[in-house]
Amino acid sequence: MAGEIDHMIATARQWRGAKMALATVMATWGSAPRPVGSHMLVHEDGRFEGSVSGGCVEGEVLHAAADTIADGTFRRLEFGVDDESAWSTGLPCGGDIVVMVQPVGPKGFDPALFEAIAEAQGDGRELAITTDLESGASRVGTEGEGWTNLYRPPRRLLIVGAVQIAQPLARITGELGIAVTVIDPRGAFLTEERFPNVSRDDRWPDEAIGVLKPDKATAVVTLSHDPKIDDPALVAALATPASYIAALGSRRSHAARCERLAAMGVGEEAIARIDAPAGLPIGSVGPAEIALSIAAGMVAAFSATPAT
């Protein structure tokens, strides 16, 4: 949800000076459409950023937020339905959710907490914020009683090879709220015009990966088709705990790649970590569909990796 958090923080800064309320998903059961920790920021004029249910109960939450903005009172809302009554009660997915609504201010979610989240995200750190369920006031840390929301560092994707497939992959990944860096020492490939709004790194990939230090919240995908670029990148990536390491190419080309990596001293177990051909087998044709399959494989790997 890193991208959503970024949007929320940017909106909070834009609305600074206005009265606001923050709604947060505290718990879910069944098929509730939004995960725990999801936010919706509400302006006193009714505008809002974010979502707590994908649209199902936002109307009720907006009413509660308006009341909280007016009286400064913390509220806890519960929405629970069964499949037969789902449409009439506003949660057609049939799930159950608990949402808290706080005033944005010293007695609720202090605006300084938005900046604390932004700073932690920028530093790649986890940040815990705990809310006292009696007073509704939030604070940094986990000490004391209350409900804790953990803001994890943004997920990252390191794309090796500024080729055509990398362009839609960077766009799709950006929409997922994942921070993208495209790595390629070839200046003609790695241009702002071809890759706007993402980080660009013109170092040799093994050097760049060594500096960027992939962790469990990082994916590395090699796309260049040039062994001089891809192979050193894979060697460097396989020495890290990156959750997803993938390489573009056919099964035949991957077999040859495995032989080269083994000759470079990479062990069998490490080589087996490489997803190749990269992505989920969805019958993709063309750069955009191949990028979609790679993005799907990456998300699946992230979802299967336990949080640290």
Q: State the amino acid at position 58 in one-letter form.
A: E
CATH number, domain of 224, equals 3.40.50.720
Please give the angle made by the CA atoms of 7, 245 and 279, to the nearest 5 degrees: 80
**Helix crossing, 227-238 with 205-212: angle to 10°?**
20
Q: Do 135 and 9 reside in the same domain of the chain?
A: yes
DSSP 141: S
Q: Do 6 and 147 reside in the same domain of the chain?
A: yes
Q: Do 139 and 210 reside in the same domain of the chain?
A: no
Tokens of 149: 């929301």
Q: Which of 121, 151, 181 is the last residue of a domain?
A: 151
pLDDT above 60: residue 35: yes
pLDDT top residue among 276 and 53 = 276
pLDDT top residue among 45 and 53 = 45
R_g over Cα of the chain: 22
Q: Do 213 and 73 reside in the same domain of the chain?
A: no
Chain centroid to CA 107: 29
Tell me how far apart the alpha carbons of residues 245 and 266 are, in angstroms, rounded to a whole number: 14
Report, as an integer, the average pLDDT of 98-122: 95
pLDDT above 80: residue 242: yes
Q: Which helix (H) or strand (E) holds 181?
A: strand 179-183
Nearest partner of 162 among 109, 132, 205, 125, judged by Cα: 205
Q: Which of 84, 117, 151 is the last residue of a domain?
A: 151
Cβ–Cβ under 8 Å, residues 178 and 6: no
Q: What is the pLDDT of residues 57-77, one digit of tens each?
A: 888 899 999 999 999 999 999
Q: What is the pLDDT of residues 150-179, one digit of tens each?
A: 998 889 999 999 999 999 999 999 888 899
pLDDT above 90: residue 1: no
pLDDT at residue 95 in the model: 66
Tokens of 123: 């530093």
Parent domain of 15: 2-151
Please give the angle made by the CA atoms of 197, 211 and 121, to the nearest 5 degrees: 55
DSSP 45-114: TS-EEE-SSTTSSHHHHHHHHHHHHHH---EEEEEE--TTTHHHHT-TT--EEEEEEEESSTTSS-HHHH
Q: Do 122 and 49 reside in the same domain of the chain?
A: yes
pLDDT at residue 6 in the model: 86
In the chain, the number of structural domains is: 2
Q: Do 285 and 204 reside in the same domain of the chain?
A: yes
Q: Do 166 and 197 reside in the same domain of the chain?
A: yes
